[in-house]
Amino acid sequence: MARTNSNYDKLAAGYLFPEITRRTDLFLENNPDVTLMKLGIGNTTEPLTPSVIRGLHEGVDRLAHVETYTGYTVNYGDVPIRKAISGYYQKLGVTADINEIFVSDGAKPDSGNIQSIFCTDSIVAVQDPAYPVYVDTNVIAGRTGAFIPETRQYERMVYMPCHEENGFFPALPEQKVDLIYICSPNNPTGTVATRSQLEAFIRYAIANKAVIVFDAAYAAFIQDPGLPRSIYEIEDAKKCAIEINSFSKMAGFTGVRLGWTVVPMDLVTENAASGKVNRMWERRMNTFFNGPSNIVQLGGIAALSDQGQRECRQLVDYYMNNARIIRDGLTEIGLKVYGGKNAPYVWLKTPSQMTSWAFFDKLLEETHVVGTPGSGFGPSGEGFFRLSAFGHTEDISKAVRNIKENLRL
């Protein structure tokens, strides 16, 4: 008598983005002549750069000829792409051996799957608000109790509030926790953790033999040279931190699919000596995965070449100019905004203490702009709203103009 995984029943609501789609589609049904401006999902809009396109075409061409055709790659990426990623770290002054680098089809699958190599009764701490994948995958794996509607939190999950008062970076957990998810530059708040903030978490993790899952998917957007782009820039991070990163936003690979995870040899846990967690993740990749597409790997290598990185920086500059336009426009009409300086997300405080979803509906109806309700990222996101800088500049400008002209404050 097969029974399904009942943890799925605990999931509080539809995954945030499908719910946005649902409300948006409903609005369009009732207002068929309206053209919406979507600043919701952080989806790239600008074409891949010339180097990457050449790399991808080469990847396809290789498969057209018997002399260069390849089948299965290494289950966590071939040596050349791992060497290229190792080189990426070298430029940050960080040593990451190719045996510590596991290449996948993206940061989302990795940040979803990483919990599976830890035991089911692990106590998990997340920044609140946080990228929903960290929470939902741990709910599905059974590491939480029920969802409590009053607090809008799952039992057993430790929420680390990020709010205006602490500059959207949390205090250390008061209790002992096992797994800590930190996303910097942060999705959704657009805040970047400083060196000293990360140092404190690393000290905590080492003292408590906890593991930090550091999501650096937006590292390429950091403009301030004093802010760390990798947690491994901080001493001792390799003893306690797993880092996840992606080509999605850095190189426009959201649809192309390529990411990576670093599991350092030095990482230890209560029951795992040096090297073991690394081998467990290798085993997981060997068992559940068959490597990222060989075509896509060549695109990734091109993106990490010197010329590729110069081109990617132009892509990043393009989106960061959008972020500036959003920040400036909203500030002008008196809205309070955060983020958007070292991250492609602007985190705005809803006016008149509106709820996030009420502001979503208001923005949609009055200005035809689709954004993302902050409360969808956790209870401390309530009263905030995320606007994404991913989009064509003319569309972003038009959206900001529409907000300025039509939002009734």
Could you say which residues in the range 108-137 bind its own copies, by CB under 8 A? 108-109, 112-113, 116-120, 122, 132-133, 136-137
Instruction: Provide the minimum distance between the beta carbon of 353 and its own copies in the complex, in angstroms, as a whole number.
Output: 31
- For its own copies, the binding residues in 49-68 under the rule CB under 8 A are 50, 53, 56-57, 60-61, 63-66
Q: Which DSSP helix (H) or strand (E) runs through 159? A: strand 158-161
Extended strands (E) in 255-371: 259-262, 336-339, 345-349, 369-370
Does 101 bind its own copies (CB under 8 A)? Our answer is no
Does 142 bind its own copies (CB under 8 A)? Our answer is yes
Measuring CA to CA, which residue among 387, 367, 372 is closest to residue 132? 372
CB environment 6-17: b (16+ within 10 A), e (fewer): eeeebeeeeebe
Between 11 and 30, how does the x/- string for binding to its own copies read (CB under 8 A)? x---x-xx------------
CB-based burial label for 213 (10 Å; 0-12, 13-18, 19+): buried
Q: Which DSSP helix (H) or strand (E) runs through 385? A: strand 384-388
Instruction: Provide the minimum distance between the beta carbon of 368 and its own copies in the complex, in angstroms, as a whole number.
Output: 21
Determine the Cα–Cα distance for residues 303 and 108; give it in Å rounded to an integer: 19
The vertex-144 CA angle with 141 and 147, nearest 5°, equals 120
Instruction: Provide the minimum distance between the beta carbon of 42 and its own copies in the complex, in angstroms, as a whole number.
Output: 9
Does 77 bind its own copies (CB under 8 A)? Our answer is no
Which of 195, 283 has the CB closer to its own copies? 283
165 with 146: CB under 8 angstroms? no
Q: Distance between alpha carbon 208 and the CA centroid of its chain, in Å? A: 25
- For its own copies, the binding residues in 254-273 under the rule CB under 8 A are 254-257, 269-272
Which of 127, 294 has the CB closer to its own copies? 294
Tokens of 52: 């990457």
Which of 294, 350 has the CB closer to its own copies? 294
- For its own copies, the binding residues in 310-339 under the rule CB under 8 A are none
Does 353 bind its own copies (CB under 8 A)? Our answer is no
Between 175 and 204, how does the x/- string for binding to its own copies read (CB under 8 A)? -x-xx-------------------------
Does 140 bind its own copies (CB under 8 A)? Our answer is yes
